[in-house]
Structure 1
């Protein structure tokens, strides 16, 4: 595999014959739970740069990483469904010696991954979820949902084929910084978006979107689990918006914030990241 060229932040951590890129921020130790940040489809750890900086300023520890086959991480065995992805995250946390409680934050398709982790993993306590303009398992059952997911999968397959011939390099000049990242992270993400291995990895994950949705929707989250939902502006159909809000409304410690004027991407950026920090602070306070 040829990883994107150029320096990158963070470190590559061996999880058993292959490595994942990890970016850690905040104090080396803290009494508060570790915040684990899961990026969306076609994303990478750089997406969380602004959020991580703001958490560090508050003395909170966080970890963002590139899933297998994306960004600066080596590919993993297929199928790349949510269970395989969470196996990698479990191995990564073990290798880093992180055995304490965690809060999981998931953006977009990463919302499926963190929900599934909270449902299936009990070796370390998950004490809260923050879902950032996140995909929900119920999307596939809504009118047009399955067709939209299938169409997105076809698009990423086309992107993957084109990326082999360098077609994503010029596209990355526009697509790579819709969040509004600081210079170093923006440059890093531009290299990632132009790289063929990244496109292949993203396509492999999206092909498994239906399977991951079924896994993540098989059981309801515990009402005792604090859940914060942060949504971006946009004209989503009411059933999709209600599905996004549902996990927080079902929680005894729910939090909902709709970020007016934001987009699906820049809700993670400098103008709007404080809403995500507020969601994280809410679940941390509820977990005490």
Structure 2
């Protein structure tokens, strides 16, 4: 989830880029469906650069953006919260989509944001999780692992990449609150979901990994509209390691939503 912790966020632009504080959304393509790509922590919109053009060629619109936290933000005066990110994206999409059906493609921490959107927006007609977080995997053990693993790195990150530190450190510090919020999130059971799980986890604690795998297995087993895909040979960044899994899953989801 933080494998690219020292990366630099890149700005995305495009012919139809729409500025909405604090998000810059890059909307491309034509079609009746919109596929929204949500990257994980320590990454940026370029994570989807080898995926998005192939999906757009299917005759859909695509939205990519950088999850940049700008300070001060009138909604975030009390500090970072995952729900604030979701609300910003919901507001931005409401200005772009014109009631078009939405498919969310979410990697890593982006899965928690996607889960909030799926609970809130009826326009969300499908989700592809790419080794992503889901509400059920945000356990106390996972929170403890993240805080213990990454808190000691704050000082080095602030020195090496101060702008990135401003975006990543608040997210890590907020993990206990994020876990609490995820505990009340319910992804509708009728919603089609493809849950891609990588062979190699970003978590290095075997007990936590086992709990996460069980959470994902239980999640997909809870509804016939949910499918699990095992990305054999892939690490956490499936879109780079094994992009064929991601492309195939999105294509399947697009076809399924179109056939409704």
TM-score band (shorter)? 0.7 to 0.9
In structure 1, C-alpha distance between the alignment counterparts of 2:11 and 2:247, rounded to whole Å: 28
Q: Residue 186 of structure 2: SS of its match in structure 1?
A: coil
* C-alpha separation in 2, matches of 1:243 and 1:126: 22
1:16-69 CA-to-partner distances (Å, cap 9, x unmatched) read: xx34232334x2x312x2111111111111111111022123223211111232
What is the alpha-carbon distance in structure 2 between the residues aligned to residue 218 and residue 55 of structure 1? 32
Give the stretch that moved more between structures: 239-248 or 220-229.
239-248
- Give the aligned partner of residue 176 of structure 1: none
| Aligned residues of 1:234 and 1:263 also touching (Cα < 8 A) | yes
Cα distance, 1:246 vs structure 2:
3.2
Task: Give the alignment's TM-score, normalised by structure 1.
Answer: 0.73
- In structure 1, runs of 5+ residues without a counterpart are 169-195
Cα distance in 2, alignment partners of residues 67 and 7 from structure 1:
10
Tell me how far apart the structure 2 counterparts of residues 210 and 30 of structure 1 sit (CA, whole Å).
40
The answer to whether structure 1 residue 22 and structure 2 residue 25 are counterparts is: yes
- RMSD (Å), alpha carbons: 2.7
Deviation digits for residues 107-163 of structure 1 (CA, Å, limit 9, x no counterpart):
0111111011111x23x5211111111123344436x3232121244145334422x
Residues 5/63 of structure 1: CA separation in 2 closer, same or farther (3 Å cut): closer
Residue number among 128, 131, 139 corresponding to 1:130 in the alignment? 128
Among candidates 177, 200, 203, match of residue 211 of structure 1: 177
Extract unaligned runs of 5+ from structure 2. Answer: 1-7
Ranges of 4+ aligned residues in structure 1 off by more than 4 Å: 4-8
Q: CA deviation at 1:6?
A: 8.7
Q: Distance in 1 between matches of 2:67 and 2:48?
A: 13
Which of 5-14 and 34-43 deviates more?
5-14
Contact 1:36 1:105 (C-alpha < 8 Å) held by counterparts? yes
Give the TM-score of the pair, scaled to structure 2: 0.81
Q: Which residue pairs with 2:51 in the alignment?
A: 51
